[in-house]
């Protein structure tokens, strides 16, 4: 346990900011997935990192 009140307050603020950041990241990826689904519906191909690595390997060989 943290006994110093200042350190305790800093820890609480850091925990809150961490939660907010994680929520922002989760929201970003949710929106990205929705955007990708819409793009696929419109006929676009959504490339994953694996797709790009596969293309790079094909270019090299």
Position 52 scores a pLDDT of 86
Q: For the full predicted model, state whether its pTM sits above 0.85.
A: no
User: pLDDT tens track of the chain, all 61 residues?
Assistant: 567 899 999 999 999 999 999 999 999 999 999 998 998 889 888 778 888 888 888 888 7
Contact 9, 17 (CB under 8 A): no
Total domain count, the chain = 1
Contact 36, 45 (CB under 8 A): no
Q: What are phi and psi of 47, to 5 degrees?
A: -90, 135
Position 13 scores a pLDDT of 96
Six-digit token pair at 45? 């191909």
In terms of residue numbers, what domain contains 53? 5-60
Degrees (nearest 5) of the Cα angle 23, 13, 17?
A: 20
Position 1 scores a pLDDT of 59
């Amino acid at each position: 346990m943290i006994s110093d009140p200042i350190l305790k307050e800093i820890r609480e603020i850091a925990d809150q900011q961490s939660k907010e950041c994680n929520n922002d990241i989760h929201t970003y990826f949710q929106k990205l997935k929705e955007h990708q689904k819409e793009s696929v519906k419109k006929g676009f191909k959504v490339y994953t990192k694996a797709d790009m690595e596969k293309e790079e390997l094909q270019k090299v060989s």
